[in-house]
Structure formats: C-alpha cells, structure tokens
Amino acid sequence: MPAGRRAVLGLLAAAALLPCLSSADEEFHFKSWMLQYNRKYSLEEYYQRLQIFVANKRRIDRHNAGNHTFEMGLNQFSDMTFTEFRKTYLWSEPQNCSATKGNFLASSGPCPSAVDWRKKGNYVTPVKNQGACGSCWTFSTTGCLESAIAIATGKLLSLAEQQLVDCAQDFNNHGCSGGLPSQAFEYILYNKGLQGEDTYPYQAQNGTCKFQPEKAIAFVKDVVNITLYDEPGMVEAVGKHNPVSFAFEVTDDFLRYSKGIYSNPTCDKTPDKVNHAVLAVGYGEENGTPYWIVKNSWGPLWGMDGYFYIERGKNMCGLAACASYPVPQV
C-alpha cells in the first residue's frame, strides 16, 4: 500500500477513535444535570465526564425514539460508564446462587391476578440507598424481612443492612463485595437476630461486626428457597405470602431505565451471571405484558420513585435463579 494511502487510512482510524464532539446543547444539558445531582469535577475530569454523559444521553434518546416497553432517562449514574458502575455497585464475583431444589411448597387454589404490597397496608419501608458499596443483597434481605414481619404483626420496622455487611461473612457473604439474601436470612436465623437501622446505622462500607444481641429486634424462624427457575412459585409466594428477594443480571441498559416494563432479549439467565439482588413487592399485567413490581436500593430518585417493573414469566435476566424469603419469628 502506498505510504500516502496508509497515512489517510491511519487518520481515518484515529478519527473513529476520537471522542464524539458534544454540541453546545448537550453541554448545557450536562451542566443542568451537574446542578441537579450536585456534581463538581476538576477541569480534566469535567471533559471526561461530559463525554461519557453525552454518549449516555444519545443512547437514551435513541432508545426512546424506538418502540420499547420501557423508557430510559438521565439519573445519578449518567456520568458513569457501565464498567465503572459495575465495579462499585454490583457483585464482583458470582455468588452461589442457585437453589436447585428449593423448599417452597406450592399450595392449591389460584393466585390473585395482581398484587401490590405497597397498597395493601403499611408493609413496605421507603426505598433506601446502598451508595457506592455492592451491598444490594443486604437491602433485598432487610426489605424482605421488614415486609414479612409487617404482614405478620402489623408493625413496620426498618432493619440494619450494616449488620449484614459487617457480620454475615460466615454464611458466604462478602460485605460490599456481594452476598445472597438466602444466606443472609440463614445468618439472621443462626445469629439470633438483626438490629434496627437506628441502633446499627448504614455506612456504605465494610466494617467490623458490632452486633449487640440485646438490641436485636427482628428474628427468623425459617428460610424458604424457591427452586431454580420456578417463576410460578415466585408468583405464588408474592401473591399469597409476602414480598420475595431475588437476583438478576444488570446490564448497561438497565442503568438508564426510567419507567415502564424492563425487558432485554440478550441478558443472561443463569445463576452464575446474576449480579444484583432486589425485592419483588408485587406483580401485574399491562397491555398483555406481565411484570414484576420491584423495589431497588439506588435511592428514590432512580427509576419510578426507586422502583422498576421487569417482564414476568420468562426468567428475564435470570430473575428466577435465586429467589427466597424468610419466615419471621414473631
């Protein structure tokens, strides 16, 4: 190839790698987003974050122009790449997630066609925020136990995620690096109790165990695991008993979710790929698409007031790979 032509090809290749240039409009958007989310950067970081923000914003606009069951929007993660997000907020290694043979027993009789535990009574605490710590599993655990106790006793407590971060290692949990609700329920059962948010406040980082048995307010009598891929079992558990903890695979499009029924044809469905635990507080159906109503732990500003819907009945992103709930001791 002549040198001149090689040089031109080289230039073209370099141009393809150059950061996309942002328009004044996009930079204006970024600046209002920074104000809204209270972000400050050094000059160097400003341009790096602007570039990531613009790429995210363009993906959102492209998605929303198409025909989908859910919409995307800006949120607190809009200046991050998925790689950065994954390192801080998701499990870094696969957890031993599959309940190959669960102990959930289906009963006879139909399930309600729709349930929302948020509307049935004072059974669900406000959405919490895990911060920059892969502790989703502790929020899924407390949320589930909080609701199960409230349904059994009428008393809605707010329970201590930090105790699970600090103390539940003997049950294969790893603080800010991941864990599983089923293993956390086992910990609470054998540890003989979990403290409240007020006596063991959340710190969003690994710490040493400061459990004080006399301050425990929530107890577990039994742990119910739902068999691998038994999504109808999850429906029955949520419909007839209480909210259920589950895990699924978060991929980069999920970060930009804002409302509607999340669905993804390409995410993984196996227990070794799930990386985030959440809480199913109900289910329903809209225009023929069944969905789960799910409480997340990314604060009330993310998604629909901290919640999201995800398509039901297809083991979407592995959501039926490791579901469980506790039977409270009351």
Q: Which is nearer to ligand NAG, 71 or 116 (CB)?
A: 71
Q: Report the residue from 76, 172, 203, 264 that binds ligand NAG according to the rule CB under 6 A.
A: 172
C-beta separation of 249 from 273 below 8 A: yes
Q: Tell me whether residue 136 is one of the annotated catalytic residues.
A: yes
Q: Which of 80, 72, 188, 71 is nearest to 137 (CA)?
A: 188
Q: Report the residue from 38, 42, 67, 108 that binds ligand NAG according to the rule CB under 6 A.
A: 67
Bridge partner residues of 259 (DSSP):
71
Listed as own residue / partner, the contacts of 53-62 with beta carbons closer than 8 Å and 24 or more positions apart are 53/26, 53/29, 53/78, 53/79, 54/20, 54/22, 54/26, 54/30, 55/20, 56/256, 57/26, 57/29, 58/20, 59/253, 59/256, 60/256
Query: Which whole-number Å values give the CA distances from 222 to 153, 194, 237, 266, in the listed order?
Result: 17, 14, 15, 36
C-beta separation of 327 from 237 below 8 A: no
Kindly state the number of chain residues that form the binding site for ligand NAG, as judged by CB under 6 A: 19
H or E element that contains 93: none
By CB under 6 A, the residues from 189 to 218 that bind ligand NAG are 206
Q: Report the residue from 128, 147, 175, 243 that binds ligand NAG according to the rule CB under 6 A.
A: 175
Residue 253 interacting with ligand NAG (CB under 6 A): no
Residue 99 interacting with ligand NAG (CB under 6 A): yes
Residue 225 interacting with ligand NAG (CB under 6 A): yes
Q: Tell me whether residue 122 is one of the annotated catalytic residues.
A: no
Residue 96 interacting with ligand NAG (CB under 6 A): yes
Closest residue to bound ligand NAG by CB: 175
Q: Report the residue from 72, 149, 164, 176 that binds ligand NAG according to the rule CB under 6 A.
A: 176
Query: Which whole-number Å values give the CA distances from 25 to 31, 232, 238, 319, in the listed order?
Result: 10, 48, 46, 39
Scanning 32-40, 94-102, 116-124, 267-275 for contacts with ligand NAG by CB under 6 A, the matching segment is 94-102
Q: Report the residue from 182, 191, 263, 275 that binds ligand NAG according to the rule CB under 6 A.
A: 182
Residue 174 interacting with ligand NAG (CB under 6 A): yes
Residue 312 interacting with ligand NAG (CB under 6 A): no
Which of 191, 276, 315, 322 is the catalytic position? 276
Q: Report the residue from 163, 183, 195, 297 that binds ligand NAG according to the rule CB under 6 A.
A: 183
Residue 227 interacting with ligand NAG (CB under 6 A): no
C-beta separation of 158 from 218 below 8 A: no
Site of tokens 């920074």:
34
Torsion of CA 31, 131, 70, 226, to 10 degrees: 170
Q: Report the residue from 23, 103, 113, 122 that binds ligand NAG according to the rule CB under 6 A.
A: 103
Helix, strand and coil content of the chain, in percent to the nearest 5, comes to 40, 20, 45
Q: Which of 200, 226, 220, 215 is nearest to 152 (CA)?
A: 220
Rg (CA), the chain: 22
> What values do phi and psi take at 31, rounded to 5?
-65, -40
Amino acid at 132: A
Q: How far is the CB of 135 from ligand NAG (least distance, A)?
A: 9
> What values do phi and psi take at 190, rounded to 5?
-80, -25
Q: Report the residue from 223, 235, 250, 255 that binds ligand NAG according to the rule CB under 6 A.
A: 223
Q: Tell me whether residue 68 is one of the annotated catalytic residues.
A: no
Q: How far is the CB of 234 from ligand NAG (least distance, A)?
A: 15
By CB under 6 A, the residues from 113 to 132 that bind ligand NAG are none
Q: Report the residue from 64, 76, 129, 177 that binds ligand NAG according to the rule CB under 6 A.
A: 177
Residues with a catalytic annotation lie at 136, 276, 296
Which residues bind to ligand NAG, rule: CB under 6 A?
Answer: 67, 93, 95-96, 99, 103, 169, 172, 174-177, 180, 182-183, 186, 206, 223, 225
